[in-house]
Amino acid sequence: MRWILSLSLVVLPLFLNAARSESGEKAKPITVSAGKEIAIEYTLKLEDKTTVDSNVGGEPLKYIQGEHQIIPGLETALEGLKVGDKKAVKVKPEDGYGEVDPNAFREIDKSRIPPEALVVGTPLDGSDPSGRPIHARVREIKESTVVLDFNHPLAGKILLFDVKVLGIQRSDKPYSPDPAE
């Protein structure tokens, strides 16, 4: 097994050095661009330096560039990077989870909330009349009602990402700029 690893360490650089265009120039390295499957390692923090999420030491996040599978501000910032590149990215709310929508607050009768969930900040999951899942958080508790916040928990927040590109490969799914196609 050790000789396979040693052989790959010898053959890989030879293969990479052989990748030249007809003009004799080295081939350009593959970069993050539309239609490519990208694997990244990231840590997400808020402005107060609170860590919200991280996959460092775990499975990489994989997505297809240009298919809006990650927030727009991050996807745009990664364009053109190469494997091994690291980047600190600041994403404004409008390029992340949006601004806080004042119309996304609903006041409902307190009796509709389980007693153990009557704590500000408690996440609640349910479904709308069509069966689609909905998510809310308890925003305020009043005498006979509860105010629920249906905004994304990161709405209105500036997001700070530390990202490293771990892999780039062609996607087996053809790229289409129109998600409906």
Q: What is the CATH number of the domain that holds 125?
A: 2.40.10.330
Is residue 8 a part of any domain in this protein? Answer: no
- Do 53 and 84 fall into the same domain? yes
- Do 50 and 73 fall into the same domain? yes
Q: What is the CATH number of the domain that holds 87?
A: 3.10.50.40
- Do 91 and 162 fall into the same domain? yes
- Do 133 and 166 fall into the same domain? no
Is residue 39 a part of any domain in this protein? Answer: yes
pTM of the entire predicted model: 0.74
- Do 38 and 87 fall into the same domain? yes
- Do 85 and 45 fall into the same domain? yes
pLDDT digits (tens, 9 = 90+) for 26-65: 678 899 999 999 999 999 999 999 999 999 999 999 999 9
- Work out how many domains the chain is built from and give that number: 2
pLDDT digits (tens, 9 = 90+) for 79-137: 999 999 999 999 999 999 999 999 999 999 999 999 999 999 999 998 888 999 999 99
Residue 72 is predicted with a pLDDT of 98
- Do 80 and 165 fall into the same domain? yes
Is residue 179 a part of any domain in this protein? Answer: no
- Do 161 and 121 fall into the same domain? no
Give one DSSP letter per residue of the chain, joined into a string: -HHHHHHHHHHHHHHHHH-B-TTSPBPPPPBS-TTEEEEEEEEEEETT--EEEE-TTSPPEEEETTS--S-HHHHHHHTT-BTT-EEEEEE-GGGTT-S--GGGEEEEEGGGS-GGG-STT-EEEEE-TTS-EEEEEEEEE-SSEEEEE-S-TTTT--EEEEEEEEEEEE-SSPP-SSTT-
- Do 110 and 73 fall into the same domain? no
- Do 93 and 33 fall into the same domain? yes
Is residue 3 a part of any domain in this protein? Answer: no
pLDDT for residue 180 is more than 70: no
Range of the domain at 51: 29-97+156-170
